[in-house]
């Protein structure tokens, strides 16, 4: 290891400390005051620019004149850091080692989509974004990098995100195939932004060449453009006529994918909304499904029951704690819109609930209610008459208990329409089990396996990866 290069800086950059105090409410302590003296650095202000880059400060800067005088005299933060790093004899070697360690081919598990083709992600090693491939027919492809049978021979490029920008910083934020197999919805974000714009293209038109005139002129992409998306998935209705998504209010900084500046701001986002977009229409015609003006910081997620496409699931979170509300609406009994009748399965923030399967009105959900390592419960929705009268409370029954061996339930889902698979993390090792339709944990798959894993499965298929 190279010795540490001695460095005697002329002085460290100074950071102004403000007297800002944030007050939080605590169930046990009442109001708690927390000092936040550097909160001003969260603002995209002239003073922050000066602190980072050491550039000129205008007279409109909000800092005290005495502080500004001092700031102008100190080295800029970025240059100060780079000066220190440039003195390290190990910097070039570290870059070489890191590059070598990342330079290996890697795949995702294949997934059979509704167009009856297999899709998977592949990265040859140092590509900025992994490429989405698909099989040329309905046969499971074989990819062997030790021979000439690489991904190009096994399939074709369906979507190459590296073609979205010159520097490779445009990325896919979310993807979803329609049930009919004809449409592919995808969100594109720039430079790591949480904001993204959603587009739709035909599955008959792969995106594997760089456009000459920008994304808007790509052949095969439909006219649908959904902006202002953040922390959202795309949830297609089973008739493939449209999808649900979460969006934030309009921002002037949010342009299309080639000029989107949203996400570079530091102001907080509020008033998330769930909308429904009908394919082939302008976003201005999208239907508002849900909003909560009394709780502007709440965020939402939606799902549709996989078995029948009948029930719309609404998950509400108030912060990053693993707790959420769970409401369900019957799409057969409701017109999509703001007046849908929701059955409040869980209407408190005391635990997390995530639905994984249903048989008509019988639902399965993963929860951490009275189980910090998670378990699986079932519940039944009331009959339609009782639902309308809101006469019944939901009763949860334990289906899979919390692992007595200390494992964390990472994933649980149906396979082959008759059984389930349970994925546990136990003693820093991943374990996979088959579970019967009665909730009996049975065979452990590959008990000698040591490492980490992820699972790809579908309810109506007799296989999983």
Query: 135 has which bridge partners?
Result: 155
With the CA atoms of 328, 331, 335 and 340 taken in that order, what torsion angle do they form, in degrees rounded to the nearest 10? -10
Residue with tokens 């342009």: 255
Residue where one domain finishes, among candidates 71, 87, 103: 87
The alpha carbon dihedral of 234, 236, 241, 244 has a sign of: negative
50: containing domain: 21-87
What per-residue confidence (pLDDT) applies to 146?
59
Buried b (16+ CB within 10 A) or exposed e, 405-430: eebebbbbbbbbeeebbbbbbeeeeb
**For each successive 10 residues of the chain (465 residues), what is the average pLDDT?**
62 84 90 94 83 52 37 59 79 90 89 93 91 91 64 84 87 96 95 90 87 58 94 97 96 59 64 98 98 96 94 96 95 94 94 96 97 97 69 84 95 92 94 94 90 86 87
Tokens of 58: 């205008």
Asked whether 363 and 357 are in contact (CB, 8 A), the reply is: yes
Asked whether 99 and 126 are in contact (CB, 8 A), the reply is: yes
Q: Report yes or no on 435 lying in a domain.
A: yes
Q: Report yes or no on 429 lying in a domain.
A: yes
What per-residue confidence (pLDDT) applies to 197?
94
How confident is the model over 251-309, as pLDDT tens digits? 766 655 555 555 555 567 899 999 999 999 999 999 999 999 999 999 999 999 988 99
How many domains would you assign to the chain?
2
CB-based contacts of 212: which residues, under 8 Å, 6+ apart? none
Q: In which element (H, E) is residue 131 found? A: strand 131-135
Q: Report yes or no on 40 lying in a domain.
A: yes
Residue where one domain finishes, among candidates 61, 87, 113: 87
Q: Report yes or no on 262 lying in a domain.
A: no
Q: In which element (H, E) is residue 154 found? A: helix 151-154
Q: Report yes or no on 430 lying in a domain.
A: yes
Residue where one domain finishes, among candidates 62, 87, 112: 87
Distance between CA atoms of residues 346 and 352, nearest Å: 9
Using CA atoms, how far residue 370 sits from 312, 353, 406, in Å, is 26, 12, 14
DSSP labels, 262-317: TTS--SPP---EEEEEETTS-GGGPEEEEE-TTSTT-EEEEEE-TTTS-EEEEEEE
Q: Report yes or no on 152 lying in a domain.
A: no
What per-residue confidence (pLDDT) applies to 264?
59
Q: Report yes or no on 288 lying in a domain.
A: no
Q: Report yes or no on 137 lying in a domain.
A: no
Distance between CA atoms of residues 32 and 22, nearest Å: 8
Asked whether 340 and 325 are in contact (CB, 8 A), the reply is: no
């Amino acid at each position: 290891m190279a010795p540490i290069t001695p460095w005697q800086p002329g002085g460290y950059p100074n950071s102004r400390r403000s007297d800002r105090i944030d007050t939080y409410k605590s169930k046990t302590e009442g109001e708690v005051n927390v000092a936040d003296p550097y909160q001003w650095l969260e603002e995209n202000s002239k003073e922050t620019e000066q602190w980072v880059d050491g550039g000129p400060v205008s007279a409109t800067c909000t800092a005290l004149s005495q502080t500004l005088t001092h700031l102008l005299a100190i080295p800029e933060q970025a240059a100060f850091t780079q000066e220190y790093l440039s003195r390290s004899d190990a910097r070039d070697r570290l870059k070489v080692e890191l590059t070598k360690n990342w330079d290996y081919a890697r795949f995702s598990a294949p997934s059979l989509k509704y167009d009856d083709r297999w899709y998977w992600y592949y990265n040859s090693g140092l590509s900025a974004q992994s490429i989405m491939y698909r099989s040329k027919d309905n046969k499971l492809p074989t990819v062997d990098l030790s021979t000439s049978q690489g991904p190009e021979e096994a399939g074709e490029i369906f979507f190459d995100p590296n073609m979205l920008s010159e520097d490779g910083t445009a990325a896919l934020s979310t993807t979803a195939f329609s049930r009919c197999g004809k449409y592919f919805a995808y969100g594109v974000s720039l430079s790591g932004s949480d904001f993204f714009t959603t587009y739709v293209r035909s599955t008959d038109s792969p995106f594997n060449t760089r456009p000459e005139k920008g994304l808007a002129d790509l052949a095969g992409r439909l006219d649908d453009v959904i902006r202002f998306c953040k922390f959202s998935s795309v949830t297609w209705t089973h008739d493939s006529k449209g999808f649900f998504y979460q969006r934030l209010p309009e921002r002037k900084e949010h342009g299309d994918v080639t000029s989107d500046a949203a996400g570079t701001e530091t102001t907080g986002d509020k008033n998330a909304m769930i909308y429904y977009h009908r394919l082939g229409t302008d976003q201005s015609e999208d239907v508002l499904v849900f909003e909560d003006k009394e709780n502007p910081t709440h965020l939402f997620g939606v799902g549709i029951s996989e078995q029948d496409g009948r029930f719309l699931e609404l998950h509400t979170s108030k912060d990053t704690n693993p707790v959420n509300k769970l409401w369900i609406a019957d799409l057969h009994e409701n017109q999509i819109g703001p007046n849908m009748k929701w059955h409040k399965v869980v209407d408190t923030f005391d635990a997390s609930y995530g639905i994984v399967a249903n048989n008509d009105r019988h639902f399965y959900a993963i929860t951490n209610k009275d189980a910090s390592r998670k378990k699986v419960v079932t519940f039944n929705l009331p009959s339609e008459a009782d639902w309308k009268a809101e006469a019944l409370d939901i009763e949860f029954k334990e289906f899979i208990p919390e692992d007595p061996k200390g494992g964390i339930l990472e994933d649980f889902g149906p396979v082959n329409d008759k059984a389930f698979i349970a994925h546990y993390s136990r003693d820093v090792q991943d374990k996979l089990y088959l579970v019967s339709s009665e909730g009996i944990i049975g065979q452990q798959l590959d008990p000698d396996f040591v490492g980490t894993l992820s699972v790809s499965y579908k309810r109506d298929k007799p296989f999983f990866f």
